């Protein structure tokens, strides 16, 4: 687990909500640091050490991440200022068994935000990737000509001895973490240099105090969000990835000039990292509020149908690589009420996939 980044280790860490962008973000607290290993690891440890300092819809964002984590333990790095790398602490007012929808709703928020910002068609690849449709010049196995622009990683914070939480995390297809007794350390307020027990700004304090009494007892989920915003081709780690700036130019979206390295030029209209955080936050807050009003029932809230409509996996031939090495091949036919993918095999059997890597397979090969 990455070390908790404190203000003493990060002199330029600051509470974003104290600045002129305060009204732009729908978050209870925003802490930004220049560099860290993993925002998910850091936020998990900070929330375990001082839960009251991290109310529902608190976010930790960094300019540069050196050891980001994805599904199956994959890691990645981001160049400074080129990507949104953030983690949001959530305590949804929903039954624990419905927490699987956090990943899908987070993906839907990112899908909508990226489409709006870059003027491109985006969609969800179940369960936790966001792709730009047709952003590639050539087919890549498992991806076709679609290119990954964002990824989501949700982790349930388990109480000490929380067996029930472990079951929930398993059913949700999310990572389960217990940080009780985690190494000491907390994020610090930039203006005091001391461990911060509450949001620094008046805006954040008012938001947090109004909500804390009804959420403190609820299970917490750390939602990690990574969006490639302004990378050049050389800064992307794999050939099936893109950035919003590159995708907009490739698909005729928002006006983006080409820089010397093939990335966005100075003075272009590519979205900024700040714009991306604000747009994702606005959509996420709206989707969570609708979900909560329906008691966590994504079907009743109409959210399940919206996720299905945005999911590029639906109706596609797929190959699902499951934990433990098993493989399911067939056609993705539906997402059920628990957020799981239903795959109909060539034999006509329907298999429920609750976690795994899903590849989009061309039907003609």
Q: Give yes or no for a contact between 268 and 296, defined as CB atoms under 8 angstroms apart.
A: no
Higher pLDDT, 87 or 356: 87
Angle at 76 between CA 12 and CA 179, to 5 degrees: 70
- Domains assigned to the chain: 14-293 (3.30.930.10), 314-360 (2.30.30.100)
Q: Left if phi > 0, otherwise alpha if psi is -120 to 50, otherwise beta: which for 149? A: alpha
pLDDT greater than 60 at residue 185: no
**What is the average per-residue pLDDT within 69-95?**
79
User: Residue 260: what pLDDT?
Assistant: 34
The distance from CA 155 to its chain's CA centroid, rounded to whole angstroms, is 10
Q: What is d(CA 220, CA 56) in angstroms, rounded to the nearest whole number?
A: 8
Q: Assess contact for 317 and 311: CB atoms under 8 A.
A: no
**249: helix, strand or coil:** helix
Which among 318, 362, 363 has a CA at the least distance from the CA of 139?
362
Q: How many helices (H) and strands (E) does the chain have?
A: 7, 16
pLDDT one-digit tens code per residue, 29-53: 999 998 898 899 999 999 999 998 9
Calpha distance 104→125 (Å, rounded): 10
Print the SS3 string covering 178-242.
Answer: CCCCCCCCCCECCCCCCECCCCCCHHHHHHHHHHHHHHCCCCEEEEEEEEECCCCHHHCCCCCEC
3-state helix, strand, coil in the chain (%, to 5): 30, 25, 45
Q: Which residues of 12-47 are buried (b: 16+ CB within 10 A; e: fewer)?
A: ebbbbbbeeebebbbbbbbbbbebbbbbbbbbbbbb
Give the chain's mean pLDDT: 78
pLDDT digits (tens, 9 = 90+) for 119-136: 999 999 999 999 999 888
Binned at pLDDT 50, 70 and 90, residue 57 comes out as very high
Structure confidence at residue 257 (pLDDT): 40
The 10s digit of each residue's pLDDT in 229-240 is 999 888 888 888
pLDDT tens column, 243-283: 999 998 887 765 444 333 344 444 455 789 999 999 999 99
Is pLDDT above 90 for 307? Answer: yes
* Residue 44 pLDDT: 94
Q: Is 70 buried (19+), middle (13-18) or exposed (0-12) by CB count in 10 A?
A: middle
Band the pLDDT of 350: cuts 50, 70, 90.
very high
* pTM across the whole model: 0.81
By the 8 A CB rule, do 26 and 282 touch? yes
């Amino acid at each position: 687990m990455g070390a908790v980044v404190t203000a003493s280790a990060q002199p330029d860490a600051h509470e974003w909500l104290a600045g002129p962008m305060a009204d732009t973000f729908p978050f209870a607290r925003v802490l930004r640091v220049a560099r860290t290993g993993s925002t998910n690891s850091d936020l998990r440890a900070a929330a375990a050490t001082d839960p009251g300092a991290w109310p529902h819809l608190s976010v930790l964002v960094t300019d540069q991440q050196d050891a980001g984590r994805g599904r199956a333990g994959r890691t990645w790095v981001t160049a400074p200022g080129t990507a949104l790398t953030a983690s949001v602490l959530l305590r949804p007012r929903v039954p624990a068994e419905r927490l699987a929808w956090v990943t899908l709703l987070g993906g839907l928020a990112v899908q909508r935000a990226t489409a709006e910002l870059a003027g491109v068609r985006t969609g969800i690849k179940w369960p936790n990737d966001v792709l730009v449709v047709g952003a590639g010049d050539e087919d890549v196995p498992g991806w076709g000509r679609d290119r990954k622009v964002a990824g989501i990683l949700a982790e349930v914070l388990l109480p000490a001895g929380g067996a029930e939480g472990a079951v929930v995390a398993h059913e949700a297809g999310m990572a389960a973490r217990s940080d009780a007794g985690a190494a000491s350390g907390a994020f610090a307020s930039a203006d005091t240099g001391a461990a911060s027990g509450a949001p620094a700004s008046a805006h954040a304090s008012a938001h947090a105090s109004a909500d804390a009494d009804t959420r403190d007892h609820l299970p917490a989920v750390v939602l990690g969000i990574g969006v490639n915003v302004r990378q050049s081709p050389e800064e992307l780690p794999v050939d099936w990835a893109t950035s919003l700036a590159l995708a907009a130019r490739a698909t005729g979206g928002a006006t983006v000039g080409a820089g010397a390295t093939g990335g966005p030029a100075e003075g272009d209209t590519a979205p900024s990292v700040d714009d991306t955080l604000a747009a994702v936050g606005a959509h996420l807050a709206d989707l969570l509020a609708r979900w909560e009003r329906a008691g966590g029932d994504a079907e009743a809230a109409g959210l399940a149908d919206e996720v299905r409509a945005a999911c590029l996996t639906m109706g596609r031939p797929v190959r699902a690589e499951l934990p433990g090495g098993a493989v399911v091949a067939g056609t993705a036919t539906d997402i059920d009420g628990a957020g799981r993918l239903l795959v109909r095999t060539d034999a006509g059997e329907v298999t429920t996939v609750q976690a795994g890597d899903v590849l989009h397979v061309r039907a003609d090969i």
